[in-house]
Amino acid sequence: MPLASVPLPASAPTEINGDTPTLRLFALLEVIASKSSYFSLQNLADETGLPKATLHRMLQQLESAHLLERTADARLYGTGNRLRKLAENLLINDTAHGARHAVLRHLVNEVGESCNLTALSGSEVIYLDRVETSAPLRFYLHPGSRVPVHCSASGKVFLSQMSPAQRLRLLAHAPLDAYTPKTLTDMAALEQEVKQVKRQGFALDNEEFLPGLMCVAVLVPSAQGASNLCVAVQAPVLRLTPERCLQLLPALQRAAQAISAIETEAMP
């Protein structure tokens, strides 16, 4: 029989298990949280094998709790603000926070500049943790601060992990606002920049978000594949030039590896 005519086995539906209705809703949220795009009721029914009437009722409950939201035409579902906030709070307050903070403190002592641990949240980068330099001239951005993905070093690193279609979907409804004269506001130019970031393994924010601010970021490696953590160094351009950023890369990469080890050890 020719290889092309061999039928592929149908994948088994994702089971939605739980002893109580609440646990079954939680199991459904786990499926939804793994998605990188909006989905329809039919998509979810095909994936889980649940009857559409049952699934519709569960989605209504999650939507009324602001854990899910629907697109303007009400045809597609996506994660809601409450669910995203829950995920962010878990990242900020998890048990590995203290160990990661110690790595950031060591990095600040080594490089002499403020350092951040960041994650991607929608079309923004959120600061999970930050240790400030003792230098008198500095930019203060506290944990929980948000920066647009297109004009931050960490954001460009996160974008470099995505396929072009994923990037387009993420940025299509997020205006590429100009925060400084150096902000990349053209999709083609941003795409070219992101491809370069993917090749070189780090990204710069050269006064693209705030005038006078330079930032360099690298990804925290993940054994699970794509990572949602970056380590970054930030400083005024008077002290941190693009050439100096390259000199700091080894220290940044050591810190990223150390945080990766912490994340791996914290896994069950």
| Mean pLDDT of all residues in 109-122 | 93
The pLDDT tens digits for 54-79 are 899 999 999 899 889 988 888 889 88
Please name the residue ranges forming H helices in 34-96. 41-48, 52-64, 81-93
Give the list of residues 6+ apart from residue 11 with CB closer than 8 angstroms, or none. none
Pick the more confident residue, 82 or 141.
82
42 touches 76 (CB < 8 A): no
pLDDT at 87: 80
pLDDT at 233: 97
pLDDT at 5: 34
The pLDDT of residue 81 is above 50: yes
Predicted structure pTM score:
0.68
Give the list of residues 6+ apart from residue 97 with CB closer than 8 angstroms, or none. 129
pLDDT at 136: 81
Residues in the chain: 268
Q: How far apart are the first and last CA of the chain?
A: 45
The pLDDT of residue 52 is above 50: yes
The one-letter code for the residue type at 225 is G
Among 216, 248, 257, which residue's Cα sits nearest to residue 103?
257
The pLDDT of residue 115 is above 90: yes
pLDDT at 13: 67
User: What is the share, in percent, of the chain residues with pLDDT greater than 70?
Assistant: 93
Interatomic CA distance for residues 29 and 38, integer angstroms: 13
**pLDDT tier, 186 (very low <50, low <70, confident <90, very high otherwise):** very high
Q: How many CA atoms lie within 13 A of 179 on its CB side?
A: 18
**Averaged confidence pLDDT in the chain:** 87
| Mean pLDDT of all residues in 115-134 | 91
CA distances from 128 to 29, 125, 160 (A): 23, 9, 20
The pLDDT of residue 1 is above 60: no
Give me the helix-helix angle, 97-111 and 242-266, nearest 10°.
160
Q: How many CA atoms lie within 13 A of 102 on its CB side?
A: 6
Tokens for 132, please give them.
């400030």
pLDDT at 8: 33
pLDDT at 241: 95
171 touches 191 (CB < 8 A): no
Interatomic CA distance for residues 11 and 106, integer angstroms: 47
Residue 199 phi/psi, 5-degree rounding, is -70, -40
151 touches 114 (CB < 8 A): no
| Mean pLDDT of all residues in 191-205 | 96
155 touches 120 (CB < 8 A): yes
Interatomic CA distance for residues 178 and 51, integer angstroms: 47
Give the list of residues 6+ apart from residue 222 with CB closer than 8 angstroms, or none. 228, 229, 260, 263
Tokens for 11, please give them.
């994948």
Interatomic CA distance for residues 157 and 173, integer angstroms: 20
